[in-house]
Structure 1
Amino acid sequence: MRLGALLLYVLLIGYGSLYPFSGWRASLNGSLAFLSAPWPHHITRTDLITNILAYLPLGYLLAAWLRLYLSRWRTVLWAILATSLFSLLMEWSQTFLPGRIAATQDIAANVTGAMVGVMLYRLLQESKWPGHLLPGWRGRWLAPGLWSNFGLLMLALWGLSQLSLDVPSLVAGNLKTHFVPFWEIPGNDGYRFHLLHALIFGLEGALASLLIASLMRHPPRKLSGWAAIFGFVLVCKLLAAALLLKGWVLPRLLSAEMVSGMVLAALLIFWARREPAGLHAQFLALLLTLAGALQFLLHSNAMRAFSGGSGAIPLNITALAAWVALVWPALVLILLWLHPRPLARRVP
Structure 2
Amino acid sequence: MPAPTDSAANSEANRTRAPAAPTASSFARVSLLVYALLIVYASWYPFSGWRDMGIKPFDYLGARLPYYWTAFDVWTNVAGYAPLGALLVLAMYPRIRPWWAVWPAMLGGVLLSACMEAVQTYLPTRVPSNLDLLTNSAGAALGAVLGALCSRYFLHESRFLLVRRRWFSGEASRGLAVAGLWPLALIYPQNHLFGLGHLVPPLSAFFSDLLDTPIDLATTWLNSAQLSAEQYWLADVIVTACGLTGAALLFLLLLRRQAPRRRLVALYLLACIAAKSLACALFFAPQNAFIWISPSAVGGIMLGTLMIAGLTWAPPTAQRRVAALALILSLVATNAVPANPYYLSTLETWVQGKFLNFDGAAQFLSVLWPFLAIWFLFHPVHRRQV
Normalising by structure 1, what TM-score?
0.67
Is 2:269 the partner of 1:233? yes
State the partner residue of 2:66. Answer: 37
Query: 1:60 offset after TM fit, Å?
Result: 2.5
Is 2:215 the partner of 1:215? no
CA distance in 1, matches of 2:259, 2:92: 39
Q: Is the 8 A contact 1:64 1:121 kept in 2?
A: yes
Is 2:334 the partner of 1:334? no
Q: Is the 8 A contact 1:13 1:320 kept in 2?
A: no
Q: Which runs of 5+ in 2 are unaligned?
A: 1-23, 199-228, 349-355
State the partner residue of 1:187. Answer: none
Amino acid at match of 1:75: A
State the partner residue of 1:176. Answer: none
Residue 94 of structure 1: which of 117, 120, 131 is its match? 120
State the partner residue of 1:150. Answer: 174
CA distance in 2, matches of 1:131, 1:38: 49
Given the superposition, is the C-alpha separation of residues 52 and 200 from structure 1 closer, same or farther in structure 2, using an over 3 Å criterion?
Answer: farther
**What is the correspondence of 1:190-209 to structure 2 with a 5 Å cutoff?**
193-209=232-248
Task: Describe the superposition over 1:115-172 as per-residue Cα deviations: whole angstroms up to 9, x where unpaired.
Answer: 56434522442379997222211222222x3x32232232233344234343676799
**What is the correspondence of 1:272-283 to structure 2 with a 5 Å cutoff?**
272-275=311-314, 277-283=316-322
State the partner residue of 2:205. Answer: none
CA distance in 1, matches of 2:244, 2:102: 38
Q: Is the 8 A contact 2:121 2:127 kept in 1?
A: yes
The total of aligned residue pairs comes to 313
Task: Describe the superposition over 1:57-91 as per-residue Cα deviations: whole angstroms up to 9, x where unpaired.
Answer: 42233213556576755533442343134223213
Residue 26 of structure 1: which of 52, 62, 66 is its match? 52
Query: 1:54 offset after TM fit, Å?
Result: 5.8
Given the superposition, is the C-alpha separation of residues 136 and 293 from structure 1 closer, same or farther in structure 2, using an over 3 Å criterion?
Answer: same
Q: Is the 8 A contact 1:23 1:98 kept in 2?
A: yes
CA distance in 2, matches of 1:97, 1:204: 35
Q: Is the 8 A contact 1:63 1:118 kept in 2?
A: yes
**What is the correspondence of 1:154-303 to structure 2 with a 5 Å cutoff?**
154-166=178-190, 193-218=232-257, 226=262, 228-239=264-275, 241-242=277-278, 245=283, 247-275=286-314, 277-296=316-335
Query: 1:295 offset after TM fit, Å?
Result: 2.0
Q: Is the 8 A contact 1:151 1:215 kept in 2?
A: yes
State the partner residue of 2:164. Answer: 138
Q: Is the 8 A contact 2:29 2:91 kept in 1?
A: no
Q: Is the 8 A contact 1:167 1:200 kept in 2?
A: no
Q: Is the 8 A contact 1:163 1:169 kept in 2?
A: no
CA distance in 2, matches of 1:333, 1:325: 12
Amino acid at match of 2:360: N
Amino acid at match of 1:140: R
Amino acid at match of 1:58: L
Given the superposition, is the C-alpha separation of residues 16 and 83 from structure 1 closer, same or farther in structure 2, using an over 3 Å criterion?
Answer: same
Q: Which runs of 4+ in 1 moved over 6 A?
A: 1-4, 127-131, 168-173, 304-308
Q: Which runs of 5+ in 1 are unaligned?
A: 174-189, 343-348
Given the superposition, is the C-alpha separation of residues 281 and 70 from structure 1 closer, same or farther in structure 2, using an over 3 Å criterion?
Answer: closer
Secondary structure of 2:152 counterpart = coil
Q: Is the 8 A contact 2:178 2:369 kept in 1?
A: no
Once superposed, what is the RMSD of the aligned Cα atoms?
A: 4.8
Is 2:80 the partner of 1:80? no
Q: Is the 8 A contact 2:65 2:131 kept in 1?
A: no
Task: Describe the superposition over 1:309-338 as per-residue Cα deviations: whole angstroms up to 9, x where unpaired.
Answer: 5999x9722232123224134224315995
Residue 367 of structure 2: which of 311, 323, 336 is its match? 323
Given the superposition, is the C-alpha separation of residues 327 and 129 from structure 1 closer, same or farther in structure 2, using an over 3 Å criterion?
Answer: closer
Question: Which of 66-75 and 86-95 deviates more?
Answer: 66-75
Query: 1:269 offset after TM fit, Å?
Result: 0.7
Give the percent of matched residue pairs that are identical in Structure 1 and Structure 2.
Answer: 23
Normalising by structure 2, what TM-score?
0.61
Amino acid at match of 1:234: L
Given the superposition, is the C-alpha separation of residues 210 and 113 from structure 1 closer, same or farther in structure 2, using an over 3 Å criterion?
Answer: farther
Q: Is the 8 A contact 1:213 1:219 kept in 2?
A: no
Given the superposition, is the C-alpha separation of residues 138 and 74 from structure 1 closer, same or farther in structure 2, using an over 3 Å criterion?
Answer: closer
Is 2:84 the partner of 1:58? yes
Larger radius of gyration: 2
Given the superposition, is the C-alpha separation of residues 121 and 232 from structure 1 closer, same or farther in structure 2, using an over 3 Å criterion?
Answer: same
